[in-house]
A = this chain, B = another copy of it.
Amino acid sequence: MNKSAVKVRNVLERVGGFASAQELHLVLHRDQEAIGLTTVYRALQSLVADGAVDLIRREDGEALYRLCGDNHHHHLVCKSCGKTVEVPGGAIEKWALKAAHENGFRDIGHTAEIFGICSDC
C-alpha cells in the first residue's frame, strides 16, 4: 500500500461512514494534505481491490466508499434535510445470508438504506 492509499484510508477512518471520492479529496485538502483527485481515485481503486474498502452506489449512481470491517451499520436518511442516523443491521444480516445461501451464492455483501422525512421537517 503506497503513501496516498494510506492517507486515504486514514481519512476514511476518521470520517467513519460513507464518503464519495470528491468528499474525501476535500477533507484531505482541509488537512493540508496536498493530493490530487486522480490519486484519490487510484488509491480508492486499489483499496477496493484489496478488499480493504467497500464500494456502494448512491441512488444517482455516484460511488461511495467506506472502510471494511468498520462496525457495520446502516443509515436512515432524511430526504428533506439530509439528517442521517446510524442504525444497527440486526435482522438484515441474517436475511441477506439466508437468501444468498438458498440460492447458492457465496462471497456475500449487501447494502441497505432507509430514507424518509425526519421529525424536524
Instruction: Number of A interface residues at 8 Å Cβ cutoff, please give it.
Output: 36
A72–B105 alpha-carbon span in the complex (Å): 21
Contact A92 B112, beta carbon cutoff 8 Å: yes
The CA-CA distance from A108 to B75 in the complex, in Å, is 12
Copies of this chain present in the complex amount to: 2
Residues A85 and B112 in contact in the complex (CB < 8 Å), given A61-B61, A90-B95, A94-B91: no
Question: Which residues on A are within 8 Å of B, measured CB to CB?
Answer: 57, 59, 61-63, 74, 76, 78-79, 85, 87, 90-92, 94-96, 99-100, 103-119
Q: Which 9 A-B pairs have the closest CB atoms?
A: A104-B119, A105-B116, A112-B112, A108-B116, A87-B99, A91-B91, A61-B61, A57-B57, A91-B95
